[in-house]
Amino acid sequence: MSRDCIEVRRLHRFFGKTKAVNDISFSVSRGHVFGYIGPNGAGKTTSMRILATLDLPSYGDAFVDGFSVVNDPELVRRRLGFMPDSFGTYRDVNCSEYLDFFARAYGLVGRERNQRLKWVLDFTGTKGMAEKPVRGLSKGMKQRLCLGRALIHDPAVMILDEPAAGLDPRARIDLRKMIRELADRGKTILISSHILTELAEMCDTVGIIEQGHLLATGSVEQIQRERAKHRELVVRLLDRAEEAAADLTARDAIGGLHRDGCRLRFEFEGDDVAQTELVAWMVGKGYRVAEVISHKKSLEDVFMQVTEGLVQ
């Protein structure tokens, strides 16, 4: 059995002259969370809709749990749960009836259906609201209910399009915990979000897309290492700061140095080993280094560096 539960192969989707998705390829291992990052209009939702069998590619293919979205859409739907960025509700049904409808739509019957309903209500924290009308739910509870709908048939793969949009901080934290727990249970999850700090915390790998092109993929640490080779260092000395500043400015890997008393702040191009060697060099020169603070580029910094803010 392949370790990749999501596989996208040279995916293209054109709308007239607009290339919404342009030759995208990536894969997500079983039990991993993949963060899909990009500005509005980048092609995220289009490619997620193709994975969910709601649209067909112009060229290329995608596979969910080993099945083609082009050739085996019915088999894909049984293995995939899709949570769109907005979803319809029904005014005159309660939460339990809403979930029961989708359980029946997926062919669940009898004891199996009852067990799935109970588990989903418990897992999403909506058990206490089972009899409450859907129209009376808050934004956060509606998102929980939508997640439950996507989970009702126990899919191997989850596609979540902006699930944290509009949620308060506590609701986002709860959602993040649920996503990580689902991954720990072996589910493969592809999630898009504009809240990059949250993606950095919950995702095993991320992909950055702009104008239909996938610009970077890999773990957050890998992308930070490859795309953001500069870091900011702050070195606090006990004395001789002006002399140290002159010595540092003469080195190739250092730029933008500013001195504030005995504090030196500068951009440093190098990894952890190079940073250690720099500090050792300063100590070897007789500078009394009291403190070193390293600020690595965040996922937001990398996103701003890789993308150009272009839309289609």
Q: Tens digits of per-residue pLDDT, 202-255? A: 888 999 888 899 988 888 777 766 665 677 899 999 999 999 999 999 998 898
* H or E segment to which residue 10 belongs: strand 4-15
**pLDDT at residue 164 above 90?**
no
**pLDDT at residue 303 above 90?**
no
Q: What is the pLDDT of residue 37?
A: 87
Q: What token pair was written down for 56?
A: 């067909």
**pLDDT at residue 301 above 80?**
no
List of residues 6+ apart from 101 with CB closer than 8 A: 93
What band does 1 get if pLDDT is binned at 50, 70 and 90? very low
Report the CATH architecture of 229-296: 2-Layer Sandwich (3.30)
* H or E segment to which residue 215 belongs: strand 213-218
d(CA 173, CA 177): 6
Q: Tens digits of per-residue pLDDT, 54-86? A: 999 999 999 999 999 999 999 999 999 999 887
* Residues 191, 33 contacting (CB under 8 angstroms): yes
Report the CATH architecture of 4-219: 3-Layer(aba) Sandwich (3.40)
* Beta sheet of 230-237, edge-to-edge order: 254-260, 263-269, 230-237, 289-295
**pLDDT at residue 158 above 90?**
yes
Within 134-204, strands assigned E span 157-161, 188-192
What residue spans define the domains of the chain?
4-219, 229-296
User: Measured on CA atoms in the order 86, 90, 96, 102, is the torsion positive or negative?
Assistant: negative
**pLDDT at residue 312 above 60?**
no
Query: At CA 153, angle to CA 152 and CA 159, rounded to 5?
Result: 80
* Beta sheet of 80-83, edge-to-edge order: 80-83, 157-161, 188-192, 33-37, 205-210, 213-218
Q: Rounded to two decimals, what is the model's pTM?
A: 0.77
Q: What is the pLDDT of residue 74?
A: 94
| Least confident segment among 59-73, 78-92, 132-146, 295-309 | 295-309
